[in-house]
Chain A
Amino acid sequence: MSSVLRFRKLCFLEPTKYSSYDEKTKDQKNYENVNTVLLENNPKKKHQKKPPKEWRCIDSCCWMVGYLCTTWWLLLFLYHCLPANLPGLQVPEPPGARLSRQGLTALHPVVMVPGIVTGGLELWEGRACSEGLFRQRLWGGSFTEIFKRPMCWLEHLSLDNETGLDPPGIRVRAVPGLVAADYFAPGYFVWAILIENLARIGYEGKNMYMAAYDWRLSFQNTEVRDQALSRLKSKIELMYVTNGYTKVVVVPHSMGVIYFLHFMKWVEAPPPMGGGGGPGWCAKHIKSIMNIGPAFLGVPKAVGNVLSAECKDVAFIRLLNTSCVYLEHGTLSFPCYLKEETPFGVTWIGLEGDHVCDSAMKKYQQQFDMKGNNTDGRRGFQVQESTKYGRIVSFGKAASELHSSEISGLGSQVYLHNATSPQSLASCGKVWTEYDEVSPESIRRISEKKAYTANTLLELIRSIAPKMMRRAEAHFSHGIADNLDDPIYNHYKYWSNPLETKLPDAPDMEIYSLYGVGIPTERSYVYKVSSSFRCKNIPLQIDSSADGRNGCLKGGVYFVDGDESVREYKHKAPANLLEGRGLQSGAHVDIMGNIALIEDVLRVAAGASGVELGGDRIYSDIMKMSEKINVRL
């Protein structure tokens, strides 16, 4: 220690030479008094020559840093000393512990199907720039690689534009196992809470399975490339056998709901296209499906994403936004580039079609308006004027509010890719999106149409991003079936659309819809045409100046039959910051930590049926809204 101090002093000899004090001696005395202890070792003569107290810039910096570090460590130390449960900050008992005391034990094996973006992806083979990342997570985890090598990261996460599979030389695969989606990023749980509570009533690795899949691929391609569906089938069969022939409870979340819908059709379909499990497979192996935050009919948000890559997705907003800011040039082009390459966005595009969504919402809205002014309050936002939710994308606020007859509806299908401007193509190099093939002219015309409903929207996207949609249409269908016996519906592209498939023949199976209500949710957008047509810009942007984005409930649950239990969870913001992300949250991902939801899942896994849970629990007007939709059953 002393040697270090002496070293410091030697450093200080330097400035003294240049200082020009007259009161050297005086100063010296002072210094001596203060620092006698420190200076003992040094010969006295040395002291006499220098008035030592000069704070140089570097010293100040060092001092500053040291000070901060010290404080930081001290706080850290105190934090660690803190008992886990501060008195007064009583953490409510986790439902798992309570139910375990009530005597619930693990009965049915549980299969979890994660949704979009929440599953981790890791690198198995990459280009030169990804050296050292072998079997590291590219997606999920800490996302440090985005900052270190953003272009490389994007290149590896993108899929091939033509095939929708791996680009040559790159293999990015889903992380398997429970770790795939327990935490999305450190501290940001997805399934972890549910897993922990299940473990308390006796679940462990052998009766829980995370059906991780590469969420960038279209559903059928996960089977083609990774055999993910076969794997899931085999795992369910295995768990069914090793757990004493008890059926499986499936808990899909978000897009996993559609994925599992696809799986159920796949597994019963005959071998070349399907899994060949035979028509009774689901009835034999599945006890119930507990859909969390299902997006059966798609979400309008997907449209916003595909159209202009404005990251509003649940997880996206938390992480990608930071990277958006980071990548100063062409902020939004990057995510857009990525997204264009991956067909996942397309799954979500309003599966509804005009028919369901447009008319129903309109009617609902009118009725809501009539009563709304007096009785509302519960939903937390007031709608002043009749909002046309059916118009998912409208250009300009005015258009979104006009009566339909006043909007000049140019048929967007006539737009052709006339005159691809060569200049933009040449200059855009890396960030090529299909927008560059669309001339400014047609963009202007697109915006002239003013308003798009769910049906015309498909055409809009088709005209803007023809390649993506062509790829997507091979895998997904967005319509509504008139006659389900039509043999065309045997094709796998219909399997994930609940309006074009039949549920499997499994009368004992139960389907639950567990979702949160009470948060404003994007339902339609007001767009504007951005002024600049430079290549780095995406020409359409959400018009943030327009105040017309009143949320609406995600039309989550509409199903063919009445045999489905609907369980809603009211959103309640966390009472205080310390509580973390809320024990009663209803947000799309945070709902996985909702106590009531966990309890429901646990009870079903331990053997309860929907009736024992108490049937439907509904806070929103979903039943009423469903009534309004005219679909032939």
Chain B
Amino acid sequence: MSLLRRRKVPEKETTTVPDPEEKKPETCKPVKQSKWSCVDNCCWLIGCICVVWWGLLFSYNMMPSSFPQYVTEAITGPMPDPPGVKLKKEGLQAKHPVVFVPGIVTGGLELWEGHNCADGLFRKRLWGGTFGEVYKRTKAINGMRSSRPLCWVEHMSLDNETGLDPPGVRVRPVTGLVAADYFAPGYFVWAVLIANLARIGYEEKNMYMAAYDWRLSFQNTEVRDQTLSRIKSNIELLVATNGGNKAVIIPHSMGVLYFLHFMKWVEAPAPMGGGGGPDWCAKHIKAVMNIGGPFLGVPKAVSGLFSAEAKDIAVARAMAPGVLDKDLFRIQTLQHIMKMTRTWDSTMSMIPKGGDTIWGDLDWAPEEGYVPSKRKKSNNTENSVHTEDGNVESEAKHVHYGRIISFGKDIAETDSSKIQRIDFRDAVKGNNVANNTCRDVWTEYHDMGISGITAVAEYKAYTAGDILDLLHYVAPKLMQRGSAHFSYGLADDLDDPKYAHYKYWSNPLETRLPNAPDMEIFSMYGIGIPTERAYVYKQIPAADCYIPFQIDTSAAAEGEDMCLKDGVFTVDGDETVPVLSAGFMSAKGWRGKTRFNPSGIKTYIRECDHAPPANLLEGCGTQSGAHVDIMGNFALIEDVMRVAAGATGEDLGGDRVYSDIFKWSEKIKLRL
């Protein structure tokens, strides 16, 4: 429509053609039959198009809303009933109140106070909803003065020092179920689950979306917005108004870590914690059903922080067409993104935790020997697993997943003894060369100078443990802020009083689960999609205003089992979270009574094998295992609904595992 208008307006202006009038007197006999001037032609054309458009629009609106479904069913055969309908027939009814904890980037953020350039955006969504609106509106109001996207970046960024609001800007999470039901129009997050829950009687009074500002570090959400207190009070209210039935918590993605933090916070004594007493969780929580939880972090977070090449699902899907386009910001899109995301403390909650013990060192990794094609086979014939194991291992021995970052493909593949590493930790950073020219897009790389950058590249290969040092080296300010809020270690002695500090609360390897023997923990995640696990990097020589490191997309492995593609080593997972991170705690770390789980909370693993949508009409797929699309997975929804209606993990049938998570977990030598 807008295109039409743009084309039309100039034409009209330019084509006030005088010609027809001049010629008229000469020849015109039938005066009535006026000529087709150019303007008329245009009008005619536009009229035609409009009429056709309206006609189509009209018939579209007249179409019964179930029409697409008919078409789908005609093509693919009858669709299964949505789980809500099915379970309602079985007689399930709403019992336990349900609390949703959204993950990173999926929650909406809205503007409460802004600079001049954001006039007219009061209480409009800056994040989520239609991003397009932000661009359009802002442009329309005063597009001339400043580049609008920059204004947006400015408002979305937090203060570099404090990790809180910059002065004069208040961006707050949207509250209520609308906060994260749809991320963008047509791109559901929680909506399908909500709709199904509603079928068995859920409504606003027994569902609660624990929306929080996902840019802040977890403890800061309490400091600034009292979000944790709010969640506590709401859960208490839900339990009280629903006849004392305990709540079922459903965190997704980073919400998993957030809720882990919450459970520690709520039982901690008052000044730092919520003062709920040591049995708060036991009294109020029936089950925690983690969906795609990055318990041990995701390697993706490293690449995001290191070179802003975050391929985060939501960002890629909703924003890549617009934002990543270099033209949009005129200059240096990635630098702006990096500058913005680096002010978000929460991204640091997902740096891989547990160091080399969990993620493997230069020569070893738990997933070693994983071959994408193998799992499918082993599904069919479980007996043949062992025999295949032997064959495969020899082939795939060269994949060193433990080296999360390696410089150059050869480094990634050679044996550790042949790699010569020069320690970067003591390397002197060069003086700041580019600060003057790159004022706008200042990232901490510009403080490093050439020598610092070279030093980083010289170290060749980084394991999960080295990554932390690397990040401390390249982004000291960021990590200084981050390490006040998060910790990535592995506790030797959980009785150490230092672990009472809140920065350990979101790391499952450094905290104990609450004392709530009746509670159940579910780990539900998708598998069957290649997931980023390790990267091959290259150094870019001209590091003027650019980020000096990039994923070496040319690196790719030959052969069928392409674990290395575009410079990224992939393993099994849900596209974002590797199986290891999502499943390890439930498979081993918390299984039975361990030192991380002193009260013996029961844990279950429910995997969802990924099956891409059969055809386009089906939408996101009812059997998808992708990180966000899994929220529309029928099997997962059914699990959630059964638990919400009162079932226990045993009723669901215990574990449902397709991947090698148990085998991999065995390989990890962790004292329990």
Residues of A in contact with B (beta carbons under 8 Å apart): 4-5, 8, 23, 26-27, 29-31, 33-35, 38, 53-55, 59, 61-67, 69-70, 73-74, 77, 80, 84, 124-125, 131-132, 134-135, 171, 173-174, 176-179, 182, 195-196, 199-200, 204-206, 226-227, 230-231, 234, 237-238, 241-242
B198 touches A65 (CB 8 A): no
- Kindly state whether residue B66 has any CB partner on chain A within 8 Å: yes
- Kindly state whether residue B33 has any CB partner on chain A within 8 Å: yes
6 A-B pairs (CB sep. < 8 Å): A26-B29, A27-B30, A63-B44, A66-B45, A70-B43, A135-B195
B203 touches A34 (CB 8 A): no
The answer, among A33, A55, A69, A206, for a CB contact under 8 Å with B23, is A33
1/0 contact string of B225-257 vs chain A (CB within 8 Å): 110011001101100110000000000000000
Known: A27-B33, A206-B172. 10 other contacts (CB 8 A): A8-B44, A27-B27, A27-B30, A74-B12, A77-B5, A124-B203, A134-B198, A178-B175, A195-B123, A206-B226
In the assembled complex, the Cα of A523 lies from the Cα of B46 at a distance in Å of 55
A66 touches B50 (CB 8 A): yes
Q: Given A31-B35, A33-B27, A227-B241, verify A66-B204 contact (CB < 8 Å).
A: no
A176 touches B27 (CB 8 A): no
Residues of B in contact with A (beta carbons under 8 Å apart): 5, 8-9, 12, 19-20, 23, 26-30, 33-37, 40-48, 50-51, 65-66, 112-113, 119-120, 122-123, 140-141, 170, 172-173, 175-178, 181, 194-195, 198-199, 201, 203-205, 225-226, 229-230, 233-234, 236-237, 240-241
Please, which residues of chain B bring their CB within 8 A of the CB of A131? 65-66
B113 touches A231 (CB 8 A): no
A35 touches B36 (CB 8 A): yes
Please, which residues of chain B bring their CB within 8 A of the CB of A206? 172, 225-226, 230
In the assembled complex, the Cα of A66 lies from the Cα of B38 at a distance in Å of 13
Please, which residues of chain B bring their CB within 8 A of the CB of A182? 123
In the assembled complex, the Cα of A55 lies from the Cα of B30 at a distance in Å of 12
B19 touches A34 (CB 8 A): yes
Please, which residues of chain A bring their CB within 8 A of the CB of B178? 177, 179
Please, which residues of chain B bring their CB within 8 A of the CB of A134? 195, 198
The answer, among B8, B47, B140, for a CB contact under 8 Å with A73, is B8
Please, which residues of chain A bring their CB within 8 A of the CB of B113? 199-200
B9 touches A74 (CB 8 A): yes
Main secondary structure of the interface of B (DSSP, over half): helix
Q: Given A5-B41, A55-B33, verify A66-B9 contact (CB < 8 Å).
A: no
A30 touches B27 (CB 8 A): yes
Q: Given A53-B35, A206-B225, verify A177-B50 contact (CB < 8 Å).
A: no
The answer, among A70, A227, A242, for a CB contact under 8 Å with B42, is A70
Min CB gap A213→B, angstroms:
11
Please, which residues of chain B bring their CB within 8 A of the CB of A204? 112, 170, 172
Please, which residues of chain A bring their CB within 8 A of the CB of B37? 34
A84 touches B203 (CB 8 A): no
Please, which residues of chain B bring their CB within 8 A of the CB of A70? 8, 12, 42-43, 46
A196 touches B230 (CB 8 A): no
Please, which residues of chain B bring their CB within 8 A of the CB of A26? 27, 29
B112 touches A238 (CB 8 A): no
The answer, among A84, A171, A227, A234, for a CB contact under 8 Å with B120, is A84
B119 touches A84 (CB 8 A): yes
A238 touches B35 (CB 8 A): no
Please, which residues of chain B bring their CB within 8 A of the CB of A55? 33-34
The answer, among B23, B27, B119, B230, for a CB contact under 8 Å with A238, is B230
| Residue of B whose beta carbon sits closest to that of A1 | B45
A54 touches B33 (CB 8 A): yes
Please, which residues of chain B bring their CB within 8 A of the CB of A38? 36, 41
Min CB gap A266→B, angstroms:
14
Please, which residues of chain B bring their CB within 8 A of the CB of A65? 46-47, 50-51
Min CB gap A73→B, angstroms:
5
Please, which residues of chain B bring their CB within 8 A of the CB of A5? 41
Please, which residues of chain B bring their CB within 8 A of the CB of A241? 229
B65 touches A63 (CB 8 A): no
Please, which residues of chain A bring their CB within 8 A of the CB of B229? 238, 241-242
Please, which residues of chain A bring their CB within 8 A of the CB of B119? 84
In the assembled complex, the Cα of A5 lies from the Cα of B45 at a distance in Å of 8
B233 touches A238 (CB 8 A): yes
| Residue of A whose beta carbon sits closest to that of B37 | A34
Please, which residues of chain A bring their CB within 8 A of the CB of B140? 80
A29 touches B170 (CB 8 A): no
Please, which residues of chain B bring their CB within 8 A of the CB of A69? 46-47, 50
Q: Given A65-B47, A70-B46, A124-B198, verify A242-B230 contact (CB < 8 Å).
A: yes
Min CB gap B133→A, angstroms:
14
Q: Given A27-B29, A199-B122, verify A34-B36 contact (CB < 8 Å).
A: yes
Q: Given A34-B20, A176-B204, A196-B122, verify A23-B42 contact (CB < 8 Å).
A: no
Please, which residues of chain B bring their CB within 8 A of the CB of A62? 43-44, 47-48, 51
| Residue of B whose beta carbon sits closest to that of A122 | B204
| Residue of A whose beta carbon sits closest to that of B119 | A84
In the assembled complex, the Cα of A31 lies from the Cα of B112 at a distance in Å of 62
Please, which residues of chain A bring their CB within 8 A of the CB of B35? 30-31, 34-35, 53
